[in-house]
Structure 1
Amino acid sequence: MKTLKSFFFILFNLCFSVISLGQNAIDLNADIDIENKTIHIQQKIIFHNPSNDTLKVIYLNDWNNAYSTKKTPLAKRFEEEFSLKFHLAKSEQRGYTTITNLKNKLGNTLPFGTLKEQPDIIKVELDTPLLPNQNFELNLEYNLVLPDNSFTGYGITDNKELNLKYWYITPAVYDGDWQIYSNKNLDDLYTPKADLNLEIKFPLGYTFISELNTIDIQQTKNEQTIKLQGKDRVNSTFVLVRFSEFKFVQTDDFNIVSDISSKNITVEEKALITDKITRYITDNLGDYPHERLLITKSDYKKDPLYGLNQLPDFIRPFPDSFQYELKLLKTALKNYLDNTLLINPRKDYWLKEGIQIYFLMKYIEDYYPDTKMIGTLANIWGIRSFHAADLTYNDQFVLFYMQMARTNRDQALTTSKDSLLKFNANIASKYKAGVGLRYLDDFVNSNIIESTIKQYLSNEKLKITSSNEFESLLKKNTTKDIDWFFTDYVNSRKKIDFKIKNVESTEDSIRLTIINKRDNHVPVSLFTLDKDSVLGKMWIENINESKTISIPKNENAKFALNYDNTIPEFNLRDNYKSLNSNFLNNKPLQFRLIQDIEDPYYNQVFMMPLIEFNNIYDGLTLGGKFYNKTLLRKRLNYRISPQYGTNSKSLTGSTAINYTHNIEDRDLYAITYGMKASYSSFAEDAFVTRISPSLLLSFRNNDDFRSDNFKELNFRFLSIRRDVGDDTIFEVDNNIIDVPDYNVFNVRYVEGIPGIINFKRWFYDVQFAERFGKLSVNYEYRKLSERNRQFNIRFFAGTFLYNKTETDSDYFSFALDRPTDYLFDYNYLGRSESSGIFSQQ
């Protein structure tokens, strides 16, 4: 029987090899040594040159070697994200690759080496040039020392189980240029498809899980051997576990192998959900070219459902079946696209991620249109009156993207993925891409986007492709001008922001003037409303700065731009107008207890009760805070906080207002104008009024948002006015009573690199007042060495530029041990105390 199996295996391999001519192929024998955390590999790579160029070198991806030192791009990535887990790890916890042989087909050793700044990229010099459309055979022998899975989720676990992805050496993509990228924990290896033939030995007592086709399994006293094959593969993830939680679900479309689980869901329910998802994916994306799709918990953790879906089971406001269904759907969409759409995942990721989010949103619209963003919480009394309870589940995709847009940290979808901020890479850019496709679909209409995506995936399935092909195909399928989507939406950081300037009535029509507040050419939808009913919808195009249109007259109608919030618009608060509208009735005041999500229909004022202990002189203060700050940042924010001091028996409090002007495509990215005022006690029967207008200039590296180098230039004017009672005693310095009220103009320049391993920060501070002028410099440096020893240095110097104060008073001195805080910047509980616990602050 074994002889017959071997015969068929050899016959299959022979056919497989014939088919593989003209494309890449990998034959690999691996011997897994769990105890020593190593895999010994013998590998043959058939590299096909698909270009018209003659190649003299071949580049290989060795992403396991990214764990080898503390100076690799992967190690630097962890440092950039303020994670010390890799830096502090022991040497035996980090992985590496040792290549013992690298030869050509004839057995001749080829010169090779890793790149200086990329030890996970191997450069192989060929002994004979590789001509166009020809193959070159590489034979390698090497050992993998596996990293702990705690770093990236891939490697060996504490339980001596394996979860491996990108584990063996693969060729890089050549498309006229070598596409060589280091492992940066982005799950974006770019490698050409290949026909795989793997033979893997592993210890008894383990179960091997893979989406490759299993050809044979053999077992001896000490080990098991599994033979796997796959055609046109880019992914060979496998899991080696002692006790498998993976379930195999067979459907009419393709099979799912998954360990994603959920409580309170029966096996039958899971089977129905899985069948529903595979049918949805097949209907919308086309047939899956492989027999099975592997979906792991590790895959989901890398790209989870965000928002309230991340809450623990016992408080999550969504049914278990809904949670399981979306987890499986989102991960299945991603893995399906990763395995079939061979697009550059480092440089051209936006289309793949946009398709994933687009069809996730479409699925929710089709099957769960009434599900709210906050789930069942929307039905609870006291919560259902909040605007957050009105938002649908899909509204959160716009909100997450807008979180970065409002803070001026969004990035163009064509930005290299390793240059994205972490929040953008994980959430905001994906959502911007998905929401953008939905916006484009609403504009072109007629189901063109969905049919074009399916056509594109069919045409380009398992081929090296790019978003340019999708753009060309889409433009062929529609007569509308959609250049704006690729130039303004995808390829730039330009925000979308429209405004209805005025509405005028003529004899038989209504004239609306629409303002485009941004430098773009995107269209906007205009809705005609009668209360909550939509009477009509039209698209307005080519609004350069402003555009006036005429529509049929309706005296009772109200007009709204982007009423359905399909367009990810920066500011919705000026999108509504009617013939009879004014400041009061167009957007009436709305008072809410506690902060809410921004509601564009109202001018919102939030209220919060305050019980605070700010200092021992006022004692416990009771009051409230009135403010307009919502969960999404606004440019104009105010806060009014009246309070009553139970000890001082006086009305105290503070108020603040600031306006932030964001600047795009400049190192100076934000200018903040502010005004603060406060009134509080600073001693028994002594009060201070502090008024401080300010101007803050914030700088960053516009070419590298990930750089943690920051610069700030702060101008402020402080007016200090004190009201001192007859019985006031200052324990610290009773001469303070004789110091007149004063004004100080303060300029401070701060620059720093707040790295977790290399920390630098310095500032220059200058103060000018009528009676004194001061200059100070402060420098801090902190270094965490490779031996995990930390060094700290701090330098401070200060001098008076001029000093006309009393010689026996230190009130305006530098006072390095305990600053007198004459600018009232610090929240001292007992600033006038010279003894007792409050004097120690």
Structure 2
Amino acid sequence: MNYKLFITTFFIIVCGNFITAQTNSININALLNDNKKELKIEQKIVFHNSSDTILNRIFLHNWANSFSNNETPLAKRFIEDYRSDFYFSKQKNKGFSKINQITVNDSFTTYKIVKNHPDIIEIKLSQPLNPNDHITISAVYTVKVPSASFTGFGKTKTGYHLRYWYLTPAVYKNEWQLMSNLNMDDLYANIADFTIQINTPKKYYLESNLYKYVTEENNTKHFYLLGKKQKDIIIDLDTLKKYKSFKTKNIEIKTDFFDTKIDYQKTTEIIKKEVDFIQDYLGRYPYKQLFIDRNSVEKNLLHNIYSLPKWLKPFPENFRWEMSFFKAMLIKYIDDALLVNKRTDYWLNDGILTFLMIEYVNKYYPDLTILGKYSNYWPIKGYTIAKLKQNDKYPFVYLFSSRNFYDQSLTTPADSLSNFNRKIVSKYKAGLGFKYLQDYIGEDALKKTFKSFYYKNKLKLTDSKQFLNTLNKNTDKNLTWFKTNYIDTNKKLDYKITKITRNKDSIEVTIKNKKKTIAPIGLYGVKDKKIKFKKWIDRIDSTKTIKIPRGDFDRVAINYERLYPEYNLLNNYKKIDNKLINKPLQLRLYKDIQDPYYSQVFYKPVVGYNLYDGIILGVNFNNQPILARNFKYSITPNYSFKSKQVTGSYLFTYNQYINSNIYKIDYSIGGNYYHYAPNLGYTSFIPSVTIEFNRKSLRDLDKKYLTSRLVFINKEVNDSVTATDHDKYNILNFRYTYSNPGVIRGLKYAINTEFGNSFTKFSTDIRYLKRITPNKRFSIRLFGGFFINNKSKSNYFSFGLNRGSDYLFEQNLFGRSENSGLFSQQYVIADGGFKSNFKNSFANETILSVNTSIGIWKWVEFYNDGAMLKNHNENPHFFYENGIRLNFIPQAFEFYLPIYTNNGFEFNNNYFSKIKFIITTDVGRIYNYIRRGLF
């Protein structure tokens, strides 16, 4: 049979009447040039004006061009996400879209690239496009396919995985809905009828979410694809056959995301179960084939941040794959049918997704804990975290962000969300919101809303406002609070039981709204952790007393089932008998989830070392569960084996979060006692206040702090020595710190003032870093300081050419009083920042220094320093040095090997003693280095 006749017959049989009124159509003829990794494309778009507005211009999304250079919104987004791979990639691995010509109704037209958005094209129409009319836009262009390593889509090792590779008409809804590619896979597009022909070398197989027919001619394959009322066409061209089909009653699932350890029959059974579950809540999928590609599934791996390592095998057989595939299917099922602008109105789709995942686990795995089988192992089983069910992770992870005030409202544009919120927290909050509604208005009302909304809006442009209208029609309860006090804000819910009054046949419960966010709350009567009574309470704006009947319960609780995320659960419980000790004490090794039934104290062993105390063993006691608390204490008594004395430290902190230009204020009192020299100890007492200012957005990496502290130091001295002004002193210190550790360019500076009994000084420390290549960087540090007055008779408070005397005791030094030996070689970046030792290396008047370092190969760098020191009644002294820096982990694990200084070449028999090192025991510093770009 003639293949053109066959294709025509095929199209008619499969799709019936192809051209549908008011539905856009897209026809693409593409040729793959495998050598150049380019697609030569001829495209025709029939665009219908389905709005009520006369249009004088049309916009096309050209996301293939978002890979063209390092100045596109996508490139800048990678930098914001702390990724440098695209920035430093070779041009051959980037991509572009080169437009050769564009015509409208067969006439050449003018078009331009939208300013600052090289992946959006504006076409000015010579004739206005009236409502219900249509035009035909034709384009001839070339797409250079980028490496798939950047977004998961592009040129792979064995082929091409294509998404957003063709011109797509923008949506006009009240106004043009324009968006650049930000690697969020959220292009807002209307449905269209597609006909696509792609010609490729013979070695390739093609899979997509369209109907397919293929012919071969010489060394070329001709793929013909067709789809009706489709969007977001994903095409996989590969030399390997990777996809399998799994058929259910109504849908064929085509995917390369399957577990080879699960046989075909079992996989099909699992998929059928999942499809039936989704259809029970939403209805039928609008297409006969559902396409799920592995790259789309695995792009956002942070959803497993709470899971145990796979090799431990904590969960039932097939559970991990089942849940991963269920989530992938839900995303496609919802996003393909509900045409929502996910850049501005993402919470609806995300909420349905998370809610259905919660319900699926409730139905099939209700008793499965987050630790799986290990919840029953000693000693884990005694911990509260071992009792958490799989679905408890949703409020827990949300509260992890909320308690630190890192959460954002669900109406925050998606491109302004932090990565952690976009990928996890906001999805969880949206899903928990539906869980909240389910219990408040009833399961049937919510389920009816899902089905009705899905049925009426399937394959139509829609939004969350229409969903809320449908929701209100299915309940007689006032749900205004859900939009204004839950969706639109990041204000917290926090209710507290303040008082219980027992009467003969009733109980009066007084509830206080601590955060003034009004929403319904559940009030429970509980006995032996079983619910005996439940009642929903509406509109508590400040304080309200509720009268409930006496019953078979001994404890009253708010939000006992944790149906909605609440800021603080510890104040939600109260015993009816009003005993003085409402919660017994509970000791926990290391950390645990907070348990509202107990007053918890956590403890952990502490091991430390310094030259004068020797090995330090102790126990740290604190009140810090896994979720942050506002008031924190940490008390660490130690025993030091070398000094044979009790040492230790303490710190009490209260965090006050403020909704303004200030993020939070930390009030703290701390101190410690250790040894600073053989048999000589020191005591510190440091009250302080730190103001942390708000970032412009949570996507910004910059942080600003203002710290004021009063440092009291009392040092022991030998009996034969008279105490001086540097043995017992107090210093008032103000420090402003700015930090922006960008992945390409980083800037940090500090402005510091100190007021002591015998001096007043000012200094500034400025550090700049620029990455030249992925493995090479240039850094420069400028330090300057001067004394406003200085009556000190020693150099103890003077500026040092290297680490100085550390009279504030803030440097983590193993041997702070050592002038020779290994411990004197520990390096800390302070004052002049020099690595080598010199005579007369203190300044009691002025210091200026510059420290530079430039990458040579990977972690090998060349450092070069210069400084000027000025003392009273002396001429300035100048110093310089250079050498090799082995920078394995910045400011955590480094070595400095000097080459040349004022003293000449440093190579001699004592060279080893001149090497300086940085080794930190501060795990938090390493963690912060790794986590950048997450929050």
> What TM-score do the two structures reach when normalised by structure 2?
0.86
Q: What residue in structure 2 maps to residue 746 of structure 1?
A: 733
In structure 2, C-alpha distance between the alignment counterparts of 1:509 and 1:21, rounded to whole Å: 66
Q: What residue in structure 2 maps to residue 827 of structure 1?
A: 812
Q: How does 1:395-410 map to 2 (within 5 A)?
A: 395-410=392-407
Q: Is the 8 A contact 2:416 2:699 kept in 1?
A: yes
In structure 2, C-alpha distance between the alignment counterparts of 1:392 and 1:15, rounded to whole Å: 49
1:95 partnered with 2:95: yes
SS of match in other structure, 2:638: strand
**Deviation for aligned residue 1:336:** 0.8
Q: How does 1:341-740 map to 2 (within 5 A)?
A: 341-554=338-551, 557-584=554-581, 586-613=582-609, 615-664=610-659, 666-702=660-696, 704-726=697-719, 739-740=726-727
In structure 2, C-alpha distance between the alignment counterparts of 1:176 and 1:503, rounded to whole Å: 54
Q: What residue in structure 1 maps to residue 909 of structure 2?
A: none
- The change in CA–CA distance for 1:388 and 1:286 in structure 2 (over 3 A counts) is same
**Deviation for aligned residue 1:199:** 1.0
1:244 partnered with 2:231: no
In structure 1, C-alpha distance between the alignment counterparts of 2:689 and 2:624, rounded to whole Å: 20
SS of match in other structure, 1:447: helix
**Deviation for aligned residue 1:555:** 8.0
In structure 1, C-alpha distance between the alignment counterparts of 2:604 and 2:139, rounded to whole Å: 67
Q: Is the 8 A contact 2:583 2:597 kept in 1?
A: yes
**Deviation for aligned residue 1:306:** 2.7
Q: Is the 8 A contact 2:308 2:371 kept in 1?
A: no
Q: What residue in structure 1 maps to residue 770 of structure 2?
A: 783
Q: Is the 8 A contact 2:525 2:553 kept in 1?
A: no
Q: What residue in structure 1 maps to residue 291 of structure 2?
A: 294
SS of match in other structure, 1:240: strand
**Deviation for aligned residue 1:453:** 1.1
SS of match in other structure, 1:149: coil
Q: What residue in structure 2 maps to residue 170 of structure 1?
A: 168
Q: Is the 8 A contact 1:595 1:606 kept in 2?
A: yes
In structure 1, C-alpha distance between the alignment counterparts of 2:273 and 2:256, rounded to whole Å: 18
In structure 2, C-alpha distance between the alignment counterparts of 1:13 and 1:501, rounded to whole Å: 67
SS of match in other structure, 2:648: strand
**Deviation for aligned residue 1:705:** 2.4
In structure 1, C-alpha distance between the alignment counterparts of 2:318 and 2:343, rounded to whole Å: 34
**Deviation for aligned residue 1:737:** 6.2
- The change in CA–CA distance for 1:743 and 1:457 in structure 2 (over 3 A counts) is same
Q: What residue in structure 2 maps to residue 799 of structure 1?
A: 786
- The change in CA–CA distance for 1:7 and 1:659 in structure 2 (over 3 A counts) is closer
SS of match in other structure, 2:382: coil
> What TM-score do the two structures reach when normalised by structure 1?
0.95
Q: What residue in structure 1 maps to residue 6 of structure 2?
A: 5
In structure 1, C-alpha distance between the alignment counterparts of 2:676 and 2:246, rounded to whole Å: 71
SS of match in other structure, 1:691: strand
Q: How does 1:304-323 map to 2 (within 5 A)?
A: 304=301, 306-307=303-304, 311-323=308-320
Q: What residue in structure 1 maps to residue 67 of structure 2?
A: 67
**Deviation for aligned residue 1:727:** 7.9
Give the RMSD, CA atoms, in angstroms. Answer: 1.9
**Deviation for aligned residue 1:52:** 1.4
In structure 2, C-alpha distance between the alignment counterparts of 1:795 and 1:648, rounded to whole Å: 39
SS of match in other structure, 1:775: strand
Give per-residue Cα distances to partners, 1:450-471, cap 9 Å, x unaligned: 2101110111111111100011
In structure 1, C-alpha distance between the alignment counterparts of 2:773 and 2:614, rounded to whole Å: 49
Q: Is the 8 A contact 2:11 2:226 kept in 1?
A: no
One-letter amino acid of the counterpart of residue 592, structure 1: R
SS of match in other structure, 1:394: helix
Q: Which residue of the other structure, out of 170, 177, 180, is the alignment partner of 2:178? A: 180
Q: How does 1:26-105 map to 2 (within 5 A)?
A: 26-105=26-105
In structure 1, C-alpha distance between the alignment counterparts of 2:301 and 2:702, rounded to whole Å: 30
SS of match in other structure, 2:666: strand
One-letter amino acid of the counterpart of residue 76, structure 1: K
**Deviation for aligned residue 1:625:** 1.1
One-letter amino acid of the counterpart of residue 723, structure 1: E
Q: Is the 8 A contact 1:34 1:160 kept in 2?
A: no
SS of match in other structure, 1:501: strand
One-letter amino acid of the counterpart of residue 112, structure 1: Y
One-letter amino acid of the counterpart of residue 143, structure 1: T
SS of match in other structure, 1:384: helix
Q: What residue in structure 2 maps to residue 732 of structure 1?
A: none
In structure 1, C-alpha distance between the alignment counterparts of 2:243 and 2:309, rounded to whole Å: 22
In structure 1, C-alpha distance between the alignment counterparts of 2:198 and 2:76, rounded to whole Å: 33
In structure 1, C-alpha distance between the alignment counterparts of 2:773 and 2:380, rounded to whole Å: 51
SS of match in other structure, 1:306: helix
SS of match in other structure, 1:326: helix
Q: Is the 8 A contact 1:304 1:327 kept in 2?
A: no
Give per-residue Cα distances to partners, 1:373-427, cap 9 Å, x unaligned: 1111111111111111111100001111111111111100000000001100000
One-letter amino acid of the counterpart of residue 740, structure 2: I
- The change in CA–CA distance for 1:318 and 1:116 in structure 2 (over 3 A counts) is same
One-letter amino acid of the counterpart of residue 803, structure 2: R
Give per-residue Cα distances to partners, 1:563-611, cap 9 Å, x unaligned: 1111101100010112223452x22110011211221221111111122
Q: Is the 8 A contact 2:302 2:424 kept in 1?
A: no
Give per-residue Cα distances to partners, 1:535-573, cap 9 Å, x unaligned: 110001110001101111248521010011111011000
Q: Is the 8 A contact 1:309 1:316 kept in 2?
A: no
One-letter amino acid of the counterpart of residue 196, structure 1: F
SS of match in other structure, 2:799: coil
**Deviation for aligned residue 1:489:** 0.2
Q: Which moved more, 1:233-242 or 1:178-187?
A: 233-242
- The change in CA–CA distance for 1:263 and 1:839 in structure 2 (over 3 A counts) is same
Q: Is the 8 A contact 1:88 1:788 kept in 2?
A: no
Q: What residue in structure 1 maps to residue 196 of structure 2?
A: 198
Question: Unaligned stretches of 5+ in structure 2?
Answer: 827-935
- The change in CA–CA distance for 1:51 and 1:209 in structure 2 (over 3 A counts) is same
One-letter amino acid of the counterpart of residue 713, structure 1: L
SS of match in other structure, 1:314: helix
Q: Which moved more, 1:706-715 or 1:453-462?
A: 706-715
**Deviation for aligned residue 1:716:** 0.7
Q: What residue in structure 1 maps to residue 798 of structure 2?
A: 813
- The change in CA–CA distance for 1:145 and 1:562 in structure 2 (over 3 A counts) is same
One-letter amino acid of the counterpart of residue 324, structure 1: W
One-letter amino acid of the counterpart of residue 782, structure 1: L
Q: Which residue of the other structure, out of 755, 759, 778, is the alignment partner of 1:772? A: 759
Q: Which residue of the other structure, out of 277, 288, 291, is the alignment partner of 1:280? A: 277
One-letter amino acid of the counterpart of residue 588, structure 1: P
One-letter amino acid of the counterpart of residue 828, structure 1: L
1:113 partnered with 2:112: yes
SS of match in other structure, 1:248: strand
Give per-residue Cα distances to partners, 1:631-679, cap 9 Å, x unaligned: 1111111111111111111111111111111122x12010111111100
1:266 partnered with 2:266: no
